[in-house]
Amino acid sequence: MGMIRDNPVLSRELLVNLRSHRAFILQFVYAGLLATAVLLAWPQAGDGRIGASVSAARQLFDLFFYGQFILVALVAPTFAAGSITGEKERKTYELLLASPLKPSWILVGKLFSSLTYLILLLFSSLPMMILGYLLGGILLSEVARAYLVLILAAGTFGLVSVACSSFFSRTSSALVVSYLIILPIAIMGIYLASTDNFQLRNFVTLTLLPPWTLATWTIVVWLINLRLLRPPDVGSEGKDVMDEQEEQKYAIGVVIDRDLFPDKLFAPAKRTDLMPDGTNPVLDKELRSEIFSQGTLMLRVVIQVSMFLSIPLMAGFLFWRTMPGWYICYVLTFNLLVGPVFSAGSITQERERQTLNLLLTTLLTPGRIVRAKLMAALRVSTVLTLLLTEQVILAYVLVRDLQLQFLTIIPFFIIILASCLVTSSLGLMWSSLVRKTSVSIIATYLSLLLLFVAPFGVYQWALTIFPETPDNILRWIMTPSPYASALSVPIVGDRLTSTGSDISPIERPLAFAKVQIWVISLGISLLISLICHLVTLVAFRYKWWKARESV
């Protein structure tokens, strides 16, 4: 208990995090949204249908459980992935390590402070969940089990994020690797939880999940402890100089070689001589020096995890079933995660590292600087994303159904490229609008979630609010989402789902406009990118003068 009660790290973080108006407002808004959901789903007076309230209760329970599970998966890394990297970025990490605090105390302080607010949010939904219980049809043990799963998930995702935070030196790297590890686990969790087999659900959540989770926690805690006990030599000024060649010697799995294809596409070799005349020095610096300035670990993990995940997805969506749209959705998700890492810190890091003033007093114009930052981010994120499309090309070569409609590969590639442009542009825009990289990255992710996923939610909501409106009109709501765009490309001949129709049932809701939807979606993506670029340019010009307003 002393580790929690007398933990200075925990006390300080809780004090800073919970005393802000923002924390209160966020909780208020969250509870308000939940209350609205309950109000909308509550059976109307006079609704005498047998089981109306039971079905409403089940609907509410599912909404709360899945909604909060997704919330935990998305929010836990934003709270925890910056817990230790934040100390490194603020240059207080060494002070913490040099204090008499044991690593376990630091870990507990960081983990609890990161997750306390999230747990508070979760428990603020309990009264609403109990209201659902009062409607009938849900057992109290189900409610308790749901919260057990949510807390175990919060702990696991939080610990994974703190572990990433202890291994990387930048919050952006820790965040993206955390998401890459957490999102597949979360999707698997939702899949298991959605089974109708009550006994299987009980077995998984009560018998299987707790011991496995605790075992995972033990391993992760041991790893973090080890890292905190024996941190790498941080060198002078708290910064380590990365020797790429030395690092590559000890690399496990993928090794990045700047001289080889395709690695040299996103990381051109370091210069051995002066830049040629007419080179944009910012673009050159970003690609040749900055990309691996913190080492190659993050990129190696990202490439390996994404490739590993792509294997079953490729088998399922490209070879077993003919559903390339779904595989493209995975590629888009990867781009959603990775794109912002290279753009959302582009300008904020110049400020944080105190190099912005050096840059702004040169003859480089804001337009040139911003363009170079966008081109660098776009190049790296596009090449990394395209690495996952080798499987698509392979499927179009080997699978007969896809061979017969090979032209459909073109819209898929256009959709991916447009998505790369959007993710990089949005990241850069946020980087020019806010002061901290961590804020910029989270704002970018939220904007992208809004763009990628929210249209589907709005469509579902519109279906219930405007039941009279024809479905094919309401479906246009989904157009801005690149996912909708990918799923709208008409594919014929899924051998498992073909029932006389030319498209699979899953893709059918979006197939109403066939070719048109992805074209319009592409237009929207380009428009968003253009707006982002203009906002970035204006914001950067404004900050050009207001670079350091504080005295």
Partner 1 sequence: MIEVEHFTKRYGDFMAVDDLNLSIGEGEIYGFIGPNGAGKSTTIRFLATLLKPTSGEGRIAGHSVTNDPMAVRRVIGFMPDDFGVYDGMKVWEFLDFFAVAYEIPRLERRRIIGEVLQLLDLTHKRDDYVNGLSKGMKQRLCLAKTLVHNPPVLILDEPSAGLDPRARLEMKYLLNELRRMGKTILVSSHILSELADFCTSIGVIERGKLLASGSIQDIQKQLRSHRVLKVRILNENPSQFEYILKNHSSVKAPSVNTIERTLSAEFEGDGPAQADLLRQMMDAGAIVEAFDEEQISLEDVFMMITKGIVN
Binding residues vs partner 1 (CB under 8 A): 235-237, 239, 241-242, 271, 274-277, 279, 281-282, 284-285, 289-294, 353-355, 357-365, 545-551
Structure-block tokens of residue 292: 């691996």
The residue among 387, 382, 356 whose CA lies nearest residue 370 is 356
**In Å, how far are 1, 178, 219 from 215, measured between CA atoms?**
22, 19, 6
What's the min distance (Å) between Cβ of 253 and partner 1? Answer: 22
What's the min distance (Å) between Cβ of 262 and partner 1? Answer: 21
Verify cis geometry, omega within 30 degrees of 0, for the bond prior to 262. yes
Those residues whose C-beta lies under 8 Å from the C-beta of residue 92, and which sit 6 or more positions away, are none
- In whole angstroms, give the CA distance from residue 293 to residue 194: 43
What's the min distance (Å) between Cβ of 167 and partner 1? Answer: 18
What's the min distance (Å) between Cβ of 522 and partner 1? Answer: 36
Q: Which is nearer to partner 1, 235 or 467 (CB)?
A: 235
User: Side-chain half-sphere of 111: how many Cα atoms within 13 Å?
Assistant: 26
What's the min distance (Å) between Cβ of 440 and partner 1? Answer: 18
Q: Which is nearer to partner 1, 213 or 296 (CB)?
A: 296
Can you list the alpha helix ranges (DSSP code H) found in 168-274? 171-193, 198-202, 209-229, 244-249, 263-266
The residue among 547, 476, 537 whose CA lies nearest residue 509 is 476
Query: Helix crossing, 171-193 with 52-80: angle to 10°?
Result: 160
Q: Which is nearer to partner 1, 363 or 407 (CB)?
A: 363
Q: Which is nearer to partner 1, 194 or 365 (CB)?
A: 365
Q: Which is nearer to partner 1, 268 or 493 (CB)?
A: 268
Q: Which is nearer to partner 1, 58 or 258 (CB)?
A: 258
- In whole angstroms, give the CA distance from residue 152 to residue 217: 10
Q: Which is nearer to partner 1, 353 or 508 (CB)?
A: 353
Give residue for tokens 């909708």: 484
Handedness of CA 521, 525, 526, 530 (dihedral sign): positive
Q: Is 366 helix (H, G, I), strand (E, B) or coil?
A: helix
237 secondary structure, DSSP code: G
Q: Which is nearer to partner 1, 191 or 545 (CB)?
A: 545
Handedness of CA 528, 299, 261, 370 (dihedral sign): positive
- In whole angstroms, give the CA distance from residue 501 to residue 235: 64
What's the min distance (Å) between Cβ of 278 and partner 1? Answer: 9
Q: Which is nearer to partner 1, 36 or 365 (CB)?
A: 365
What's the min distance (Å) between Cβ of 342 and partner 1? Answer: 14
What's the min distance (Å) between Cβ of 536 and partner 1? Answer: 19
What's the min distance (Å) between Cβ of 372 and partner 1? Answer: 11
